[in-house]
Structure 1
Amino acid sequence: MIVVGLMTGTSADGLDVAVADLALDGDELALRVLDHREVAFPDDLADDILRLLEPRDVPLSLVSGVDARLGRFCADAVADVLAETGVVADLVVSHGQTVRHDVTDGQVTGTFQIGQPAWIAERTGVPVLSDVRSHDVAAGGQGAPLASVLDHLLLADAEIPTAALNLGGIANITVVAPGRPTVAYDTGPANALIDLMARRITGEPRAYDRDGALAAAGEVLPALLDDLLAEPYYALDAPKSTGKELFHAAYLDEHLSRYAAAHGEPDPHDVVATLTVLTARTVVDQCRARGVGAVVASGGGTRNPVLMAALRRELGAAPVRTTDELGLPEGAKEATLMALLGWLTWHGLPGTLPGVTGATHGTLAGRITPGAGPLRLGEPPAAPPARLRVVR
């Protein structure tokens, strides 16, 4: 089955596209990545997405407009990749852009992704799976992190407790350990707060700390780090999830104002250095609590050598590698995850693991927008896959 996965995350810097060929062989699901790419958003679309990610009231016309524009952008991206590769897709899975993820007293009450899938189905004639989080939320789950099902299958043969770590706007881990149930949750910010400071320093609306240069030019501020680490979210039990509804500009400014009142205005590069260590420390604290002996990382944060060095320093002897070493390009992981969720739903299999998100049961992910022809779903296999093998 050929599935195109589309992912845009909390960094909102572009659309990740992966074309995956999936085939079940016994209890093993073989996955070959036929193509993967990142398609940058046009400036006006990126700016409007970032406006929606700030926790403030916005016009309904902005939500509706971005929903349609992002849908058309995704449709063009899929049409382009199918034309260039000559691949005939069976399904497209579009995550869409999360613009709200509401949490009250640790319980997710709603999650909202936009990027109208009908544009993709109409442009390509291929059915589209979308809204992949809501069913899990309705069953009492967090709707996140969805990566847990891919991580669980990819690390099924791990001999020691191993954490799959994704460093996007938000950091999340999936811990797979022999003889123990898999656990997964968001640990806190990865690039979300770092990106905010990078944009303030450079004046560029979509800047990030390229190659860790901004963090390398600063020094960690212990008092600021301690204040940031006092965030109550870090002490919550799993399952839990978070996003830019918590880790946003006003949140950062509150901490910076407290620091400035006691110590004077901080150097912006020192703030970036401190936020980089915050990301590493909050990830490593959770890895230690779970007895993790190895880490397999993915996401944009793996391209920041200062952040990766901080992770390795905090972890000590535990090795840190990327999913590239397992055959899965780190930049393609989340879009490939969407393809996997599509394969599972198409074959009547849940896209979440029991207990991982907090849902009362595993749920089929998403809803389907038909393509040009009638829907003909796959037959459920005799048993779900037990492991995932990436075919190079």
Structure 2
Amino acid sequence: MTEPAYIGLMSGTSMDGIDAVLASFPGNCVEIHGTFSLPYSDTLRQRLTRACQNQSTPDEVGELDHELGVLFGDAAKGVIEATDLPRSVIAAIGSHGQTIRHQPSGKMPFTMQIGDPNLIAEATGITTVADFRRRDLAAGGQGAPLVPAFHRAFFGDDRANRCIVNIGGIANITWLPHAQPDQALGFDTGPGNALIDAWCLKQTGRPYDDNGHWASTGEINQALLSDMLSDAYFQRPAPKSTGKERFNLSWIETVIARHTGVPANDVQCTLVELTVRSLAMQLPQTRDVTFYVCGGGARNRFLMDRLRTALPEAAVETTAELGVDPQWVEGVAFAWLAKRTLEQQSGNLPAVTGARGKRILGAIYQA
């Protein structure tokens, strides 16, 4: 193998674990050599949730930063062991880290990802690139979403309009018009699985609603849905990004308090519809476009059915049709972003993040 390989490490707003991907990028193609997932324990997930909600002390955040650094290193070693590639061909690891707070629009904008990259580099002996968001933030951008640059590079088509829909804890889109490939747009549309999972955990004790089965037993409460869709975030123009500091269990409970007697499974069904409707109403267009879904939402059959219902004029597929399994898209993207950093090439799309210009992203932690 002559092409250098890269590891991408991703833990998103669902906070269910770390996805690790070992990939190379010959020509304009993605070649995945191995994948590995390291799930978080229930206890760790609860601790991360408290940190996201400003309920942790600085000591607790510091301990989480260290613990996650160790786990990210373990995930990197796990994907290496799952392949036959020698470590000598791995040029770098790109680690997104775990976001615990994202406030890009305040008086003093900041974004915080934990998972100490020093520990990753030390554990693996491989140069690690991390802290991707803050350079874009320093240039006046939102610091997110960053994956649209990867979407444009590998999923764009000069003959057809495409839209990549990432439904993780937070949902985001990348609009790829065929006539203007340089005019890609992208932004966070709002909640993806975050509210669905939070309500399911509170009501059933299960961390997620497998295939949306519980939601499918309920009915959409139109009054509740309209109230939820009145949140100002959905009307805010792009560029924009958000996270669990806004869309969380407290947000659900605040809205539900204005509606009495709504059965729990109806709330769950309505939350699925909120993800779908908030996404659909912010799309540039729905005719003559194919939507490719990735992230955990692609595995929720009920959510996918509702998305197809909301977009009757469009084709709705998953990124598997483009050659990358929906679970691994973001991991591959951060492997590619690490490659861009080492090559001193920009990794952001200013039209997406709102930054003043293209920037080389990330800090490099040498092996």
TM-score range, shorter chain: over 0.9
CA contact (8 A) 1:190 1:279 kept: yes
- Residues in 1 aligned to 2:5 and 2:284: alpha-carbon distance in whole angstroms: 39
1:53 aligns with 52
- Residues in 1 aligned to 2:81 and 2:112: alpha-carbon distance in whole angstroms: 31
1:212 aligns with 212
Q: Structure 1 pair 45/325, CA: closer, same or farther in 2 (3 Å)?
A: same
2:78 aligns with 80
Per-residue deviation, 1:241: 0.5
Worse-matched range after superposition: 291-300 or 224-233: 291-300
Per-residue deviation, 1:325: 1.0
1:98 aligns with 99
Deviations 1:16-45 (A, max 9, x none): 11000123x4xxx33201111321123332
1:355 aligns with 351
Matched to 1:221, the amino acid is N
Worse-matched range after superposition: 108-117 or 326-335: 108-117
Q: Structure 1 pair 215/43, CA: closer, same or farther in 2 (3 Å)?
A: closer
Is residue 306 of structure 1 aligned with residue 306 of structure 2? no
1:231 aligns with 231
Is residue 202 of structure 1 aligned with residue 190 of structure 2? no
Identity, % of aligned pairs? 36
Per-residue deviation, 1:161: 2.6
Is residue 4 of structure 1 aligned with residue 4 of structure 2? no
Q: Structure 1 pair 164/108, CA: closer, same or farther in 2 (3 Å)?
A: farther
CA contact (8 A) 1:45 1:70 kept: no
Matched to 2:304, the amino acid is M
The 5-angstrom pairing of residues 145-156 of structure 1 reads 145-156=145-156
Q: Structure 1 pair 313/288, CA: closer, same or farther in 2 (3 Å)?
A: farther
Q: Structure 1 pair 162/135, CA: closer, same or farther in 2 (3 Å)?
A: same
Is residue 18 of structure 1 aligned with residue 16 of structure 2? no
Per-residue deviation, 1:251: 1.1
Per-residue deviation, 1:82: 1.6
2:280 aligns with 284
Deviations 1:316-360 (A, max 9, x none): 020001111111011000100100101111111100123221000
Per-residue deviation, 1:365: 1.3
Per-residue deviation, 1:294: 1.5
- Residues in 2 aligned to 1:322 and 1:18: alpha-carbon distance in whole angstroms: 18
- Taking only aligned residues, the RMSD between alpha carbons, in angstroms, comes to 1.6
Worse-matched range after superposition: 351-360 or 310-319: 351-360
SS in 1 for 2:109: strand
SS in 2 for 1:356: helix
The 5-angstrom pairing of residues 185-196 of structure 1 reads 185-196=187-198
Deviations 1:40-96 (A, max 9, x none): 123332221122122x34211110000000001111221232234232221011111
CA contact (8 A) 1:277 1:310 kept: yes
- Residues in 1 aligned to 2:254 and 2:337: alpha-carbon distance in whole angstroms: 38
Worse-matched range after superposition: 146-155 or 228-237: 146-155
- Residues in 1 aligned to 2:16 and 2:363: alpha-carbon distance in whole angstroms: 25
1:182 aligns with 184
- Residues in 2 aligned to 1:240 and 1:353: alpha-carbon distance in whole angstroms: 13
1:329 aligns with 325
Per-residue deviation, 1:272: 0.5
Where has structure 1 moved over 3 Å in runs of 4 or more? 288-292
Per-residue deviation, 1:291: 5.9
Count of residues in correspondence between the two structures: 359
Unpaired segments ≥5 residues, structure 1: 372-392
CA contact (8 A) 2:146 2:349 kept: no
- Residues in 2 aligned to 1:42 and 1:221: alpha-carbon distance in whole angstroms: 33
Unpaired segments ≥5 residues, structure 2: none
TM-score after normalising by structure 1: 0.88
2:120 aligns with 120
- Residues in 2 aligned to 1:297 and 1:80: alpha-carbon distance in whole angstroms: 27
Q: Structure 1 pair 84/304, CA: closer, same or farther in 2 (3 Å)?
A: closer
Q: Structure 1 pair 77/162, CA: closer, same or farther in 2 (3 Å)?
A: same
1:70 aligns with 68
TM-score after normalising by structure 2: 0.94
1:346 aligns with 342
Deviations 1:112-152 (A, max 9, x none): 10000111111111010000100000001111111111111
Matched to 1:2, the amino acid is A
CA contact (8 A) 2:159 2:179 kept: no
CA contact (8 A) 1:175 1:290 kept: no
The 5-angstrom pairing of residues 25-36 of structure 1 reads 25=27, 29-36=28-35
CA contact (8 A) 1:158 1:176 kept: no
Q: Structure 1 pair 144/129, CA: closer, same or farther in 2 (3 Å)?
A: same
Per-residue deviation, 1:202: 1.1
- Residues in 2 aligned to 1:331 and 1:126: alpha-carbon distance in whole angstroms: 24
CA contact (8 A) 1:69 1:115 kept: yes
